Structure 1
């Protein structure tokens, strides 16, 4: 049986990766995997247990001890379970967003997560989004995309998302947090946030979600 090709979608915080990756997976009949949710799950557990985020050794051990399960249903209804508990909504809390890059930059944490992600991708037919999918997790993926947008545009999207979820937080605060996350992600020693050399770069500033999805699907169709 022919193994389906994989799709890698990378990009910074607030670029719309998860939303777009879900829609791409649905259109292609592929499985959607949100790798960022795995780092968020570890971060959530660390916050719940009052971990010191400067203690990289303890956080690395935590990442190897927690049980993370990802489920993508027929309609790509993505859910993530942490030690048996559904934390799909909890991992999107602002406090998790503020700390996740601190956890994700730890080399052993990344090693533990990447190992699991690569196992998930082995069967093919996967749309996976994150920060290092095309460069580290699935370097052999046939289709690679790097989504970006201006800091202000990404902050506005995240601000609206948080308001809809009932969180009151200023736009200026989110702009500052996204800029800081970009700095950490782009300058970490292991698997920094950079486009893969063969990735198609899409600046979604001013584009709708559907327009970005159409661009990606068109590219995949043309390359089949």
Structure 2
């Protein structure tokens, strides 16, 4: 989403090379997922013949599994890794849940910031002088670098998610108002989830203390 929203040219720089390497790694991973042997419960053995593997992976169920390797969707698989870390490092559940909630907020802020910054490329409104009209042009950063545009978009997303809403960044067009509504709903949902999580953790902590006193 960052590249779609803020990178407007294909200059071969460090960011471009890094992004292409990430794309290549996901393509390689997709190929390996497609040719991985599978377990046949009827034969009680691993099927390693390539034609049979391809036939198996061309079924609807396997096609859906292949779609899971799209890199945007694979981000959610990181929760499995974090769960293993929590079990291996014996991290308290309360700290683990709070860290996970914070990571969710940061990821959501990044996505919504990219959405907010990318909407200007799909708007065709103009002012009285014929200049393109968007929140970036009104705020005066439409000709700034992508770092300035991204940080400003991320700033707007964070204050919106956290329901602060300073109002210093204007919402100009109808499209931007629609995206702002979506971001505010996402922010309220995230805040409500965090509040419910804190209440649940407090209840679990109280229950654990009662059990410890009962056992003693």
- Higher helix proportion, which one? 2
Superposed pair shares fold, TM > 0.5 = no
Rg (Cα) greater in structure: 2
Relative to the length of structure 1, the TM-score reads 0.24
Relative to the length of structure 2, the TM-score reads 0.24
- Higher strand proportion, which one? 1
* Bigger relative CO (Cα 8 Å, ≥ 6 apart): 1
